[in-house]
Chains A and B, each alone.
Chain A
Amino acid sequence: MKEFAERPFSLVGVNTNAQEPAKLKEVMQREKLPWRSFADNGDIVRRWNLSGTPTFYLIDAAGVIRRKWVGAPGHKVLGEALSKLVLEAEKR
């Protein structure tokens, strides 16, 4: 993800373990996870009809869903899709 630093891109997490923020912070510090994450109490998972983790939604700069993966798509697929959208956002 280093190539996307300083560019119009953000990784936003939704943690689905239904933990209090303080507990989630502990986990994220221990695992060295640097991104910002919603601490979901179950509401987000229900509304988004989540079938399992990991699930990824790639959302463009206009707020439209452009890709969706249930299960890890692998670095290559993810990186290519991201690059394409970030370039598109930079041209806007």
Chain B
Amino acid sequence: MRLVLGGILALAPGLVAQQSPASAAEQYQALVKAIQAEGAGFRGATTDAERRAAVENLHVVGQRYVEFAEAHASDPIVLEAALEAIRALNGEDSLTQTSWELSTTDFPRPGAGNPGGRIVALLLRDQLRSDKLVPICLRMSYGVRPEYEIFLKRVVEENPSEEVRGVACLSLAQLLNARLLKLDTLAERPELAARYALLVGQEFFAGLRRRDRAQAGAEVEALFTKAAETYGNVKHPYGGTLGEKARSELFEIRNLAVGRTPPDIEGRDQDGRSFKLSEYRGRVVLLDFWSEF
């Protein structure tokens, strides 16, 4: 989309120069370009101070997309701005949590301004029935903001498109599942739990902790089951169907969770020799899924 627009602008510079004011889409392209030129720069962050700077930078980027979306709420471009806002916010939240693990002196705190709440309020008000919500739902599944859950639930209930409802249902299940696993981890690490509470809100976090684990787990399984049964044949944007993905998630919950005995693995090693994971019974095994780039 961006490339296409860029191409059109490049072909007709005179035309664009004569038009004023710039359309919302043109203003959006300019914003994206400006932000890309500045560079978020968190990939190279190795020190505590660099990580903090990167978190703050992502927060500002998210903030700018939120403000753009609010200023152009009636233009179709709002969906792209919202998607980028959510992407930046997820990046900020993810890097904030990574910094808590890696940093020793300087722990970033969540940024102010409730960008998650603002973007979701906008989407709920104007876009709940849009047939173009698939990328936004997918992106929310990776996030931690409490408002995402509210939005995805409403989309599952109210959106007319089967595809959008299906992706929202799967995304909601993934969001809630990831949150439960996070709570399990935090139960062992009180120092991180206190910081996570700042990220999602103290009251919200207290509410999550009061919930019965088995009941919350059953809710997640019911949502994956619904995605598999009601929307099983809907294509997943990343390949395969929603049904296949939902069943894989259920398999993971039931067979690959802490406390379970995983299925055996049988395959060939780097010398071409066959071997099985079960051959290591009697020894502690660190199973390391790795890739080389």
Contacts and interface: CB of A to CB of B under 8 A. Distances in A.
Interface in B266-283: 267-272, 275, 277-278, 280-283
Interface of A: 8-17, 21-22, 24-25, 27-28, 31, 35-40, 43-50, 53-68, 71, 73-74, 77-78, 82, 85-86, 89
Given A56-B288, A61-B281, A89-B282, 5 more contacts: A9-B286, A10-B284, A14-B288, A16-B291, A21-B271
B260 interface: yes
A22 B272 CA distance: 7
Given A13-B288, A48-B252, A66-B258, A61 B272 contact: no
B13 interface: no
Contacts of B272: 21-22
Interface residues on B, range: 35 or more
Contacts of A24: 270
Contacts of B262: 48, 57, 59, 63, 65
B263 interface: yes
A61 B258 contact: no
B216 to A, nearest CB: 18
12 contacts: A9-B283, A12-B277, A13-B287, A15-B270, A35-B288, A36-B275, A45-B289, A46-B248, A53-B291, A56-B286, A61-B283, A71-B98
A67 B292 contact: no
A63 to B, nearest CB: 5
B268 A21 contact: yes
The CB with the most chain A CB atoms within 10 A, among B270, B287, B291, is that of B270
B256 interface: yes
B204 interface: no
Nearest to B253: A49
B285 A67 contact: no
A21 B291 contact: no
Interface string B163-176: 00000000000000
Contacts of A45: 289
B289 A64 contact: no
Given A63-B278, A65-B257, A15 B291 contact: yes
Shortest Cβ-Cβ A-B pairs, 7 listed: A25-B270, A49-B252, A38-B267, A57-B287, A49-B248, A21-B272, A55-B289
B254 to A, nearest CB: 11
A69 to B, nearest CB: 9
Contacts of A13: 287-290
A49 B281 contact: no
B191 interface: no
A53 B287 CA distance: 12
Interface string B70-108: 000000000000000000000000000010011000000
